[in-house]
Structure 1
Amino acid sequence: MTPAARYASAIAILDIVLAGEPAERALTNWARSNRFAGSGDRAAIRDHVYDVLRARRSLAVAGGGDDGRALVLGLLRRDGIPVDTVFGAGGHAPTALTPQEAQVPAIDPSPAQAADLPDWLWPIWQASLGDQAMACAVTQQQRAGLHLRVNLSRATRQAAQDRLQAEGIASLPHPDVDTGLIVQDNPRRVAGSKPFADGVIEVQDAASQIAMAALPLSPGQRVLDLCAGGGGKTLAMADRMQTPVFAHDIDPRRMTDIAPRAARAGVQIKMVTSQALQGAAPFDLVLVDAPCSGSGTWRRTPDAKWRLTPERLSELNGIQAEVIAQGAALCAAGGLLAYATCSVLQAENDAVVETFVARNPDWHARPPLRLHPTQGHDGFYMVVLQRD
């Protein structure tokens, strides 16, 4: 495919996403229907779609409209790519711009548009992030880097770097966490590399690694990851402790990958069903990685930003109140409860913890770990609570 044809395909996919289809599903369906497209084509089209979704509102201003065609036009203008190399470039390219489209809009974006946030969310975002609100929003407009966690029970960080380099994957040590690597070149080779197959590395953003490194863990503790999902944090805790860690998720299907990942990493994870959870308690530490908006990770899942509504945020707050209470009930006397989200919104973080403590005055919270989205990591929040 020509570069212009790739943009044309991105326009078609964006129109499907804008009509309500999740981005991943739309991309998968397109790939299945267009098997002539090579891996390079699919990767480029995916990048175009996600680049637009990260900055949908500001690109709509630059492109003079909010359909796929206008958004791609806004993307080209933002990135300084001559529009005539795409629109009207022949073959399967998008049709040439009309005179009206060719006129660059002379409109100053509103703060919410410049931040690429829905109007209703911008005041909440501001209240949560203060004078960092716009900077964090702008950070979310850019692609996130690929971070790896080194299983230190399998290799040193330097040894992992050397093995990756031997396969053409350059990396740098992450400055904020001793298990972290920042991939510099060939990120798409990681999943097929020997270090990955041998359990030396896992893909995990530095924010999650920083949070797991901050947990007060020690060998011999009974530790439960209550909302384990795919098990990234469970595996990180197990590698650090070198003793078994318990994992549970209300939807067992989310934990399908934990067993093979644990085998590859050489760690022990004990899966616990909902029915067996109470019998397995009490635990010395319970991690509640609560369902949330994911607002700290919207660089990676930008269409989630546009699907979030006030009603859904309220629903999430209810779920968060339930799971923190559930986690507390599973803690041993004097045990620890770690409440975490990958959100930066106060409504999902401090407000949930403050309400829980107000209802349960025998628990007190330590100072929270609060990470804003930066070039170095995603946004994340975690607070450790202890029963008096």
Structure 2
Amino acid sequence: MTPAARVAAAIEILDAILAGQNVEGALIRWARNSRYAGSKDRAAVRDHVYGALRRKASSLAITNGTTGRDWMRGFLKNSAVDLASIFGQVGGHGPSALSDQEMLFQPDLDAATAHDIPQWLWPMWQADLGSDAQLIARALWDPADVFLRVNLAKSSREHALELLHQDEIDAEPHPTIETAVHVTGRTGKIAQSRAYVQGLVELQDASSQASVMVLPRNGGGSVLDYCAGAGGKSLALAAWLNTQVDAFDVDAQRMSDLPARAARAGVDVRVLRELSDLNNSYKTVFCDAPCSGSGTWRRDPMGKWALTADRLGELVSIQYSILVDAASRVAAGGSLVYATCSVLSCENQNQVTLFCETHPDWGVIEMHQFVPTRHGDGFFVAHLSQKNG
């Protein structure tokens, strides 16, 4: 496919998304109907679509548009692409030439639109992130980097990197997180690499890895991963603390692959499917609560546009309930870790402050807010302990 043809395909997919199809479904349907497209073509089209999604507000606003074509030409304009090299190319299966009207762009955008943050959220975004608000918003325009977590139960980081390099996967150690490896080249071979197949590495964002490391290395004891999701933190906790981890999620189906992943990693993770299976005397409870995902909107840009003020309020209420319940399952003198992949104070610092005010027997040991950079996603973690422990 020519560059112009790839853009035409992205326009088709964006039209499908505007018509109500979900992103992955639209991409899969296009790929199935486009058998001529090679792997590089599919990757390029996907990059166009996700790039446009990340910059949806500004791309549509500068074109005063409502269609996939408008959306894409706005995105390409934002990206400083020569539109004449894409639109109207003879014999390239690309989009038709731009009209004189389509060559006009709206130069003046309000701050929220220009930075691709929902209008209702922008005042909160500025209040929470201060002088970094615009910089962090712009960081969400770019694709997220890929990181691997080295499984210290099986390997050192040096050995894992050696195997990755032997399998022609370019990677380097993370500058501050000792378990993290930054994949700097192509990522398509990771799942077939020896380091991955042998359980020496797992895909996991660096900031997410750092959240586990607030706990002391080889700390042992009984551990509950209370909102386990697919189980990435469960595996990390088991390796970092060198102990068995109980994993629970209200949607047990999300943990369906966890036993096989734990076996590959050589760690002890027990999947619990009912609340009644949990006890109330864990040394450590780790709680990665459901949230807005605002720190990971590079990976899930539609999450940014789907979030509403009402939904954020619901999430804040759910988070606090989970935090209180998680604390009730910690043994005397134990630790509680509260985490989200958000950069919003209402989901993070404010929740911890409220919890400590209403539960004066708990105090904060340490608290960290990561923002999205090339070194990891936005993420929040607070390590709490009982004062009378």
One-letter identity of the residue aligned with 1:204? Q
Q: TM-score, normalised by structure 1?
A: 0.95
Q: Deviations over 1:142-161 (max 9, x none)?
A: 11111111112222212111
Quickly say closer, same or farther: Cα 1:117–1:317, change in 2 above 3 A: same
Q: Deviations over 1:237-256 (max 9, x none)?
A: 11112221110000100111
Q: TM-score, normalised by structure 2?
A: 0.95
Contact 1:53/1:303, CA 8 A, preserved across alignment:
yes
Q: Does 2:220 match 1:229?
A: no
One-letter identity of the residue aligned with 1:341? T
**Which stretch of structure 1 is more off in the superposition, 130-139 or 37-46?**
37-46
Q: Deviations over 1:82-123 (max 9, x none)?
A: 2122211234311111110023x2522211012111100111
Counting matched residue pairs gives 386
Query: What's 2:70 paired with?
Result: 70
One-letter identity of the residue aligned with 1:304? G
Quickly say closer, same or farther: Cα 1:224–1:159, change in 2 above 3 A: same
Structure 2 SS opposite 1:234: helix
One-letter identity of the residue aligned with 1:24? E
Contact 2:64/2:106, CA 8 A, preserved across alignment:
no
Structure 1: where are the runs of 5+ without partners?
A: none
Hey, what's the Cα distance between the residues in 1 that align with 2:92 and 2:220?
Answer: 65
Hey, what's the Cα distance between the residues in 1 that align with 2:181 and 2:220?
Answer: 28
Contact 2:218/2:242, CA 8 A, preserved across alignment:
no
Hey, what's the Cα distance between the residues in 1 that align with 2:287 and 2:122?
Answer: 27
- TM-superposed deviation, 1:38: 2.2
Quickly say closer, same or farther: Cα 1:361–1:20, change in 2 above 3 A: farther
- TM-superposed deviation, 1:268: 0.8
One-letter identity of the residue aligned with 1:380? F
Hey, what's the Cα distance between the residues in 1 that align with 2:272 and 2:280?
Answer: 10
Structure 2: where are the runs of 5+ without partners?
A: none
1:329-344 correspondence runs (5 A): 329-344=328-343
1:75-224 correspondence runs (5 A): 75-89=75-89, 90-103=91-104, 105-216=105-216, 218-224=218-224
Percent of aligned positions that are identical: 45
Hey, what's the Cα distance between the residues in 1 that align with 2:92 and 2:226?
Answer: 53
One-letter identity of the residue aligned with 2:95? P
Contact 2:153/2:267, CA 8 A, preserved across alignment:
no
Structure 1 SS opposite 2:137: helix
Query: What's 1:381 paired with?
Result: 380
One-letter identity of the residue aligned with 1:129? L
**Which stretch of structure 1 is more off in the superposition, 35-44 or 120-129?**
35-44
Query: What's 1:33 paired with?
Result: 33
Q: CA RMSD in A?
A: 1.6
Q: Does 2:298 match 1:299?
A: yes
Structure 1 SS opposite 2:176: coil
Structure 1 SS opposite 2:285: strand
Hey, what's the Cα distance between the residues in 2 that align with 1:383 and 1:31?
Answer: 42
**Which stretch of structure 1 is more off in the superposition, 224-233 or 83-92?**
83-92
